[in-house]
Chains A and B, each alone.
Chain A
Amino acid sequence: MLSKRIISCLDVRDGKLAKSVKFVDTKEIGDPVAQAKKYYEAGLDELVFYDITASSDNRSIMLDVVSRVAEQVFIPFSVGGGLRTVEDCAKVLLAGAEKINVNSAAVKNPQLIADASKAFGAQAVVLSMDVRRAAPTPAIPSGYEVVINGGRTPVGLDALEWARRGEDLGAGELVINSIDADGTKEGYELRLTRAIADAVRIPVIASGGGGKPEHLYDVLTEGHADAALVASMLHYGEYTVSEIKTYLAGRGVKVRLPAS
């Protein structure tokens, strides 16, 4: 039986680790390569790196980070942030990432999903979407809308519709990041995650709001997620990978337990 995955997300700016809180201020908390290796050795299932470097001049720093991670970390990882063309995607895959992660650029240019899927296979294409609650309208029937540019700009696109479209275009996995829940540590957006997980046939990774192992339990069961992203609860040392997994296993969730 397939295990539910625990994935951690590392935000990287100018080659250094940062964790965003509510997408506003970010503060640096360390070296992404050392952190990735630590999580790999602790039994984490997968990693995501988001490049939040502001200047495109510094993009090559990220490729160096990816390359150094790939030399030391032997679990799958994806890279996102600033990938606008198939060429950008090819660079991070060549540097050693398993998957590319597209978000705003795919909203602006959905063909990017199709082109990347055709070039690298659906398994290499993760569509991340930032979603926030909205009053239901004919354009946003689900009451969840897609926002871009780090959660600041609504685009008049229904999250459920975008998820289905992403699947049709050739995405292999979806990351559903709730802007409302992100940084709150009060739990994932269960209704949103479940609605999307039930609407598509590809795996759904829940993101935003994880603060306690109970929250992961909720989103992996009631929320129908295939995987959960955790950030600050690991980054700040509040929980270990082992503690989270042992908790989930104790409540009957199938997880890959770290080797003893």
Chain B
Amino acid sequence: MITVIDYNAGNLTSVKRALDHLGLESQITADAQIVARAERIIFPGVGHAAAAMRVLHARGLDEALQEAFGDGAPILGICLGSQIVLAHSEEGDTPCLNLLAGKCHRFALADPSLKIPHIGWNAVKVEQPHFILKDLRPGDEFYFVHSYYPQPADAAHIYASSEYELTFPAAIGIANLFATQFHPEKSGAIGLNLLRNFAAWQP
């Protein structure tokens, strides 16, 4: 059973629908007790880091996630969920969950023709092997939509990167946590395959 965390941050149904399509059992919940004891968690989300942290805190989901992480439950963060697992976000100067040391930065691009948000399909380059990324081939592209990106303090926690003037981390992880800045649930067959790998991942 995959537990999808509901914290009022965007369209959770698209993650649920992707899991349904793959025949993977899942539930959407805002209940901290369920999250704390979940066997496998997807932590999706789009929106503002500060608003997200407020809702997580109000529902006790911040502590529940920390507990689940400490208990070893496999966790997949997606988009905003890859940013607020770090210690801090520049968005609203927000202290975050700190499951992984690092900060989330806003794109500061010199080229004025490059649009922000970074919206669309971009190649994801594997930086070090990970079970969840095992089927990626060079040049495989995923769908992104974001203005901020996660930067772990230690490069050892970067599993994949993308280019948008600068090279930024596209997938990060530590122990039983893995997180993608891109949206596997909106990235066609290769994205669905990544979700399938997450469901089978035994960290």
Contact = CB atoms under 8 A, between A and B. Distances in A.
Contacts, number: 98
A75 B187 CA distance: 6
For this complex, into which size category does the number of interface residues on chain A fall?
A: 35 or more
B17 A70 contact: yes
Given A70-B17, A124-B46, A259-B189, A226 B120 contact: yes
A98 B186 contact: yes
Given A2-B120, A98-B14, A256 B141 contact: yes
A2 B111 CA distance: 14
B46 to A, nearest CB: 5
Interface in B74-109: none
Interface residues of B, number: 40
Interface string B99-135: 0000000000000111111111111000000000000
Interface string A244-260: 00000000000011010
A79 to B, nearest CB: 12
A45 B121 CA distance: 8
B11 A93 contact: yes
B11 A98 contact: yes
Contacts of B141: 3, 256
Contact of A172 (B119, B123, B143, B187): B119
Interface stretch (A12-20, A115-123, A139-147): A115-123
A58 interface: no
Interface string A146-190: 000000000000000000000000001100000000000000000
Interface string A20-57: 00000000000000000000100101000000000000
A137 interface: no
A173 B147 CA distance: 13
A214 B151 CA distance: 40
Contact of A74 (B119, B163, B192): B192
B161 to A, nearest CB: 12
Contacts of B113: 198, 224
Contact of B122 (A1, A74, A97, A227): A1
Interface in B21-47: 21, 46-47
Contact of B47 (A97, A121, A256): A121
B57 interface: no
A122 B48 CA distance: 10
A173 B119 contact: yes
A203 B115 contact: yes
B18 interface: yes
Given A3-B120, A256-B121, A76 B164 contact: no
Given A70-B14, A76-B186, A96-B11, A202 B115 contact: yes
Nearest to A226: B115
B20 interface: yes
B122 A3 contact: yes
B182 to A, nearest CB: 11
B145 A123 contact: yes
A198 B113 CA distance: 7
A5 interface: yes
A201 interface: yes
B169 to A, nearest CB: 16
B120 A74 contact: no
Contacts of B139: 257
A201 B116 contact: yes
Interface string B154-196: 0000000001100000000000000000010111111110000
Among B115, B183, B186, B189, the one with the most A-chain Cβ atoms within 10 Å of its Cβ is B115
A259 B47 CA distance: 31
Contact of A75 (B10, B21, B123, B186): B186
21 contacts: A1-B122, A1-B164, A3-B141, A70-B13, A70-B17, A71-B17, A74-B186, A74-B189, A75-B143, A75-B186, A75-B187, A96-B11, A98-B14, A98-B186, A121-B10, A123-B145, A172-B145, A202-B116, A203-B115, A226-B115, A227-B120
Given A72-B21, A226-B115, 4 more contacts: A71-B21, A74-B189, A94-B13, A172-B119
Leading 9 A-B pairs by shortest Cβ distance:
A256-B121, A256-B141, A3-B121, A203-B115, A123-B145, A121-B47, A76-B186, A2-B122, A5-B120
